[in-house]
């Protein structure tokens, strides 16, 4: 039941995780897609807005340039923008300039007004300047050269915006048929720029447009592409992050779920392990109390069994305490420099004292360097491996304890001729509470804590523990310890 409810908890947490992460990220992606789709339009609009203020200021400058040309006419000097100056006959002004001629007459001497007219489809710009001549006041009609002005605009732009990438041009009004065709053909060869901003010019340049051009066929596309790539890159990064976070969370949740299952197994296991010797103790004690053991041999057998069962109990409790001390960090290692043969000798004494029904051989490579170990903790580790070797081998036990040099470390190995450890279990047997799922492990008493304790102790010494195993042939558990420099 407990397992089923934990599973439901796990699923619920998983669903929450899915909702909590996936829904906002789907919304984010939708937003990103819309933003990417609108990006080009947005870039074009931004470019046009950026250039409008610059174009307006350039337009004012052009206007100032025309005023400057008119002032030159008033002073009687020349200006490159003025192609011809005539005296305006007030009674017969050129077609389209009648109103302007009337207004000019009211102007004070030296001032001017700018005007334009269309003559046979050609746009002309004029400055009407009030001046004093030999025969009195008159209005001078100065023809403004728009082509010369157009030629000056890029230079004006460069001077005003020296660090600007764009070129500024003054485009004439749409020409009719042949002239337009000629210009298009002339520009077709070197047309590698695109208009990104445009403002219409005021009088006397009606119909003209001041434009900003950026090099390239489609600069907005390049900018939009860069921004899109950035969006897409960030989205990919975001998703990678979410994916990794998701994966890690799921892994942690699975671990927690597995651990809680292992703990449940452990409690069941440990209860069983405790109950068996306790039942035996109770039975043997009752046998003695009720006087059912009649002969001295029977009494001695009962007492011996009582002692061995209580020893089994205390070992089990000792293992549990050892684990909890390690887990809580209460167990401090008291390291000392030791020669390996001396350590193995101490282990041999402790092993013999336990009077197990199996022996082991020892092979020690001569001249091994010393190691820094907590002798009690390290003896506990090796004894644990020896016990496992005894526990998990059949009738004929061949157990070997070997110490040898392994590069810059010392390796202490316990080799047995047991059934071996299955490949899928080789890492997991060092996890707390984990027990092999094979028949032998199930039939053998244990808690799944022994190797986890070994691993913790060995790692606290700066070493590592590993297993080599061949199924059906045996296992070699290896402790690798750093040597004293
Ligand atoms: P326990 O022996 O109490 O189950 P351990 O942590 O010592 O706990 O061992 C974990 C598991 O590793 C065992 O359940 C067993 O399946 C496997 N194992 C340990 N030592 C050996 C060995 N020498 N040969 C085969 N399997 C072993």
Q: Which residue has the tokens 């449940």?
A: 264
Q: Supply 414's token pair.
A: 């316990």
Would the CB of 447 count as within 6 Å of ligand 1?
A: yes
H or E element: which one contains 469? strand 464-470
Rounded (10°) CA dihedral 64, 68, 74, 78: -150
Longest distance between any two alpha carbons in the chain, whole Å: 164
Distance CA 19, CA 414 (A): 51
| Boundary of a domain, candidates 216, 233, 267 | 216
Q: Considering the domain boundaries, does residue 117 fall inside one?
A: yes
- Taking the centre of ligand 1 as the mean of its atom positions, its distance from the CA of residue 371, in whole angstroms, is 26
Interhelix angle 450-460/375-391, rounded to 10 degrees, is 150
pLDDT at position 188 is 52
Ligand 1 pocket residue status of 416, Cβ below 6 Å: yes
Provide the domain limits for residue 109: 71-216
Residues 385, 386, 392, 394, Cα dihedral to 10°:
160
- Are the C-beta atoms of residues 61 and 156 closer than 8 Å to each other? yes
What pLDDT is attached to residue 183? 54
Domain boundary among 216, 235, 263: 216
Asked whether residue 465 is domain-assigned, the answer is yes
φ, ψ of residue 97 to 5 degrees: the values are: -110, 15
- The CATH code of the domain that includes 345 is 3.30.565.10
Q: How far is the centre of ligand 1, averaged over its atoms, from the C-alpha of 463 (Å)?
A: 20
Are 203 and 99 in contact, with CB atoms under 8 Å apart? Answer: no
Q: Distance (Å, rounded) from C-alpha 387 to C-alpha 327? A: 22
Q: Could you tell me if residue 94 is inside a domain?
A: yes
Instruction: Report CA(376)–ligand 1 centroid distance (Å).
Output: 21
* Residue 412: strand pairing partners: 403, 479
What's the pLDDT score for residue 328? Answer: 78
In a domain, 472, yes or no: yes
Print burial letters for 463-475: b (CB count within 10 Å at least 16), e (below 16).
bebbbebeeeebb
Asked, for residue 131, whether it belongs to a domain, the answer is: yes
Question: Residue 36: inside a domain, yes or no?
Answer: no
Asked if 249 and 6 count as a contact pair (C-beta separation under 8 A), the reply is no
> Which pLDDT does position 192 carry in this prediction?
72
Residues 6 or more apart in contact with residue 345 via CB below 8 angstroms: none
Distance of CA 468 to the CA centre of its chain: 37
DSSP code for 286: H
Residues 340 and 471 in one domain: yes
How does DSSP assign 127-140, residue by residue? EEEEEEETTEEEEE
How confident is the prediction along the chain (485 residues), in pLDDT tens digits per residue? 445 555 666 677 777 777 777 777 788 778 877 877 777 788 788 888 888 999 999 999 999 999 999 999 999 999 999 999 999 888 888 888 999 999 998 999 999 999 999 877 788 999 999 998 777 888 999 999 999 999 999 999 999 888 888 889 999 886 544 554 555 555 555 557 788 889 999 889 998 999 998 887 676 677 777 777 887 888 888 888 888 888 888 888 888 888 888 788 778 777 877 888 888 899 999 999 999 888 999 999 999 999 988 988 888 888 888 888 887 777 788 899 999 999 999 999 999 988 888 999 999 999 999 999 999 899 999 999 999 999 999 889 999 999 999 988 999 999 999 999 999 999 999 998 888 888 788 888 788 889 999 999 999 999 999 999 999 999 999 999 999 87
Q: If you measure from the C-alpha of residue 400 to the centroid of ligand 1, how many angstroms do you get, rounded to a whole number? A: 17
Q: Is 116 in the pocket of ligand 1 (CB under 6 A)?
A: no
Q: Please choose, from the candidates 405, 484, 393, the residue with its C-alpha nearest in 3D space to the C-alpha of residue 444.
A: 393
Decide: 465 in ligand 1 pocket, CB within 6 A.
no
Last residue of a domain, one of 181, 199, 216: 216
Residue 143, burial from CB neighbour count under 10 angstroms (0-12, 13-18, 19+): middle
DSSP label at residue 94 = P
Q: Do 198 and 336 have their domain in common? A: no
> Which residue lies with its CA nearest to atom 11 of ligand 1?
435
Q: Give the chain's domain count.
A: 2
Which structure tokens are listed for 217? 């066929």
Position 298 in a domain: no
The DSSP bridge partners found for residue 246 are none
Is the separation of the CB atoms in 344 and 378 below 8 Å? Answer: no
What token pair was written down for 324?
Answer: 């909890």
Span from the CA of 437 to the centroid of ligand 1 (angstroms): 10
What 3-state class would DSSP assign to 298? helix
DSSP 348-386: HHHHHHTT-S---EEEE-TTPPPEEE-HHHHHHHHHHHH
Residue 339 belongs to some domain of the structure: yes
């Amino acid at each position: 039941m407990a397992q089923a409810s934990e599973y439901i908890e796990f699923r619920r947490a998983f669903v929450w995780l899915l909702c909590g992460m996936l829904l906002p990220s789907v919304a984010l992606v939708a937003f990103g897609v819309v933003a990417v789709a609108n990006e080009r339009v947005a870039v074009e609009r931004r470019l046009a807005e950026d250039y409008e203020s610059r174009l307006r200021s350039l337009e004012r400058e052009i206007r100032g340039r025309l005023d400057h040309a008119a002032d030159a006419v008033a002073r009687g000097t020349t200006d490159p923008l003025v192609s011809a100056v005539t005296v305006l006959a007030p009674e017969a002004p050129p077609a389209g300039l009648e109103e302007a001629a009337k207004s000019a007459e009211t102007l004070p001497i030296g001032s001017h007004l700018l005007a334009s007219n269309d003559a046979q489809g050609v746009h002309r710009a004029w400055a009407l300047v009030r001046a004093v001549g030999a025969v009195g006041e008159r209005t001078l009609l100065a023809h403004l050269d728009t082509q010369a002005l157009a030629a000056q605009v890029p230079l004006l732009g460069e001077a005003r915006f020296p660090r600007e990438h764009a070129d500024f041009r003054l485009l004439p009004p749409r020409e009719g048929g042949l002239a337009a065709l000629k210009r298009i053909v002339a520009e077709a060869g070197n047309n590698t720029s695109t208009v990104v901003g445009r403002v219409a010019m005021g009088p006397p340049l009606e119909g003209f447009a001041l434009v900003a051009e950026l090099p390239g066929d489609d600069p907005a596309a390049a900018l939009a592409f860069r921004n899109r790539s950035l969006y897409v890159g960030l989205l990919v990064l975001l998703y990678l992050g979410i994916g990794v976070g998701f994966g890690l969370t799921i892994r942690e949740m699975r671990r927690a779920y597995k651990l809680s299952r292992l703990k449940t197994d452990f409690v069941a296991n440990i209860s069983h392990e405790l109950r068996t010797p306790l039942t035996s103790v109770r039975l043997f004690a009752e046998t003695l109390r009720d006087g059912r053991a009649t002969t001295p041999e029977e009494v001695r057998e009962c007492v011996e069994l009582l002692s061995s069962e209580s020893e089994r109990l205390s070992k089990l409790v000792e293992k549990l305490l050892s684990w909890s001390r390690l887990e809580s960090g209460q167990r401090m290692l008291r390291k000392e420099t030791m020669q390996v043969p001396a350590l193995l000798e101490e282990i041999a004494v402790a092993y013999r004292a336990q009077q197990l029904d199996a022996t082991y051989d020892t092979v020690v490579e001569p001249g091994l360097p010393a190691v820094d170990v907590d002798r009690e903790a390290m003896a506990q580790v090796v004894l644990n491996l020896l016990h496992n070797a005894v526990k998990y081998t059949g009738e004929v036990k061949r157990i070997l304890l070997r110490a040898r040099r392994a590069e810059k470390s010392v390796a202490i190995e316990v080799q047995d001729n047991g059934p071996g450890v299955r490949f899928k279990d080789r890492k997991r047997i060092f996890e707390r509470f984990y027990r092999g799922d094979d028949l032998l492990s199930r039939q053998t008493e244990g808690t799944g804590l022994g190797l986890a304790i070994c691993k913790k102790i060995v790692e606290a010494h700066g070493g590592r523990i590993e297993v080599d195993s061949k199924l059906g042939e045996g296992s070699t558990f290896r402790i690798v310890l750093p040597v004293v420099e």
